[in-house]
Amino acid sequence: MPARVDINATLNTLNPATRAGFLSFHRENPGVWREFERFALDAARAGRQHYGAKSIMERVRWECEIAHGSDFKCNNNWTAYYARIFAAKYPEYSGIFEFREARGLKAA
């Protein structure tokens, strides 16, 4: 069973304004996480050792916009945060994404 993830703790390196913006988007758009999680698990379970979080977010966009006809908008900056949440929730697949310093991280 996947670990329960404290999103605030997972994203504690974000500056408060960035974290608040992401968390607001995340609360208002729960389907984004569900789809991101589903597609990331698909990639991991298919044996992918490394995969791009951006590719997964583009598939989320496709599903939302084309398959379901919604007017989906997601800041590209949020992709890295969804990848970090995924890695925290699924430590067995944490190596699938390569992490770099994300925008909005605290300087000190």
For residue range 30-74, what is the model confidence (pLDDT) as tens digits?
A: 889 999 999 999 999 999 999 999 999 999 988 877 766 667 677
What integer pLDDT is reported at residue 16 of this predicted model? 87
pLDDT in tens, 69-83: 667 677 888 998 999
What integer pLDDT is reported at residue 105 of this predicted model? 55
Cβ count near 24 (within 10 Å)? 10
- Rounded-to-integer distance, Cα 32 and Cα 72, Å: 9
Q: How many CA atoms within 13 Å lie on the side-chain side of 64?
A: 20
For residues 72 and 87, which has the higher predicted lDDT (pLDDT)?
Answer: 87
Torsion sign over Cα 46, 48, 49, 52? negative
